Amino acid sequence: MQGKIIKGIAGFYYVDVAESGIYECKAKGIFRKEKKKPLVGDNVEIEVLDEKEKIGNLIQILPRKNELIRPAAANVDQALVIFAVRQPDPNYQLLDRFLIAMEQQEIPSIICFNKKDLAEQKELDQMYQIYSSCGYQVLLTSAEQEKGISRIRKILEGKTTVVAGPSGVGKSSLTNLLQEEVSMETGEISKKLKRGRHTTRHAQLLTVGEHTYLMDTPGFSSLFVEGMEKEELRFHYPEFAEYEGKCRFQGCVHVHEPECAVKQAVEKGKIHRQRYENYVSFYEELKEQEKRRY
């Protein structure tokens, strides 16, 4: 039987098998011998030892599509990063850092601005514009007024999505709305998982539909990948791509060089100034880190 590891604690792995339920499994010795550690998100083959008690053994890890370092997980399809339009105001530096970390791990990000009930349409349009012009999918939602929820649900369907964002932006409110339907179908399972949710700080998956999982991330700031080469940073800005190679100097990092196509695009309003300014400050940060290393 095949399923997905949604949680792992103290040598036990909880495996969600569609239409059948959650099995508590142990990894057999072969894993230890092969030094292969099962990860949350792994698709696995299990053998059932007790169907009534839902107990089994992990017997095989199926090939991984990818492996994230932070958070530690396998087979992540995408990331949903949530900020509020107000209360708290969005911290764009933090948002850009998150996007870079995901770009670096080749995970596509979707940006959700929640609490849209707290801002004017004009402001919402601006937020939408900054990031959709970089090529990101941007959602505007209100958990309070239950607006934009079906759109999120569609985007999540059939996928495993890392959810991140600072506290207070409405992550739990949105997650609860997304889980409502599932809870009605499989009340017992959700209860089991919710209980676990408060007792562990490990990464785990929440089931929000068949083959549809959300991954809670235990702490937003821990997601940032360190030790990136400063010359690599520019490749994690999708909106720079069309200008790459068009600057006067080969290998231009778009900071102090003259006749830089990226800087010209910023002047023309084709690249958002705020994004560019964050780029420069991250670049300087990486440069400082590098100096300290030597």
DSSP alpha helices (H): ranges in 133-259?
149-156, 171-185, 187-199
Cβ burial, residue 86 (10 Å; 0-12/13-18/19+): middle
**Span near Zn ion by CB under 5 A; candidates 52-60, 67-75, 170-178, 258-266:** 258-266
Distance (Å, whole) CA 236 – CA 259: 21
Residue 97 CB, shortest distance to ligand GDP, in Å, is 18
**Span near ligand GDP by CB under 6 A; candidates 13-21, 28-36, 110-118, 182-190:** 110-118
Instruction: Report the partner that residue 143 touches, choosing among ligand GDP, Zn ion, none (CB closer than 5 to 8 A by kind).
Output: ligand GDP
Helix axes 273-293, 92-104, angle to 10 degrees: 70
Residue 92 CB, shortest distance to Zn ion, in Å, is 22
Instruction: Report the partner that residue 115 touches, choosing among ligand GDP, Zn ion, none (CB closer than 5 to 8 A by kind).
Output: ligand GDP
Torsion (CA) 101, 104, 109, 112 in degrees, nearest 10: 20
Nearer to Zn ion by Cβ, of 139 and 247: the residue is 247
Nearer to Zn ion by Cβ, of 6 and 247: the residue is 247
Is residue 167 part of the contact set for ligand GDP (CB under 6 A)? yes
Is residue 88 part of the contact set for ligand GDP (CB under 6 A)? no
Is residue 115 part of the contact set for ligand GDP (CB under 6 A)? yes
DSSP alpha helices (H): ranges in 186-241?
187-199
Which residues ranging from 173 to 192 are in contact with ligand GDP (CB under 6 A)?
173
Which of 39, 110, 134, 143: binder of ligand GDP (CB under 6 A)? 143
Distance (Å, whole) CA 205 – CA 200: 12
Half-sphere exposure of 293 (CA within 13 A, CB side): 10
Number of H helices and E strands in the chain, helices first, is 8, 13
Q: How many angstroms separate the Cα of 178 from the Cα of each of 156, 174, 190, 211, 287?
A: 10, 6, 12, 14, 42
Residue 235 CB, shortest distance to Zn ion, in Å, is 13
Which of 43, 75, 142, 160: binder of ligand GDP (CB under 6 A)? 142
Here's the x/- map for ligand GDP, 218-237, by CB under 6 A: it reads as --------------------
Instruction: Report the partner that residue 169 touches, choosing among ligand GDP, Zn ion, none (CB closer than 5 to 8 A by kind).
Output: ligand GDP
Q: Hey, is 30 helix, strand or coil?
A: helix
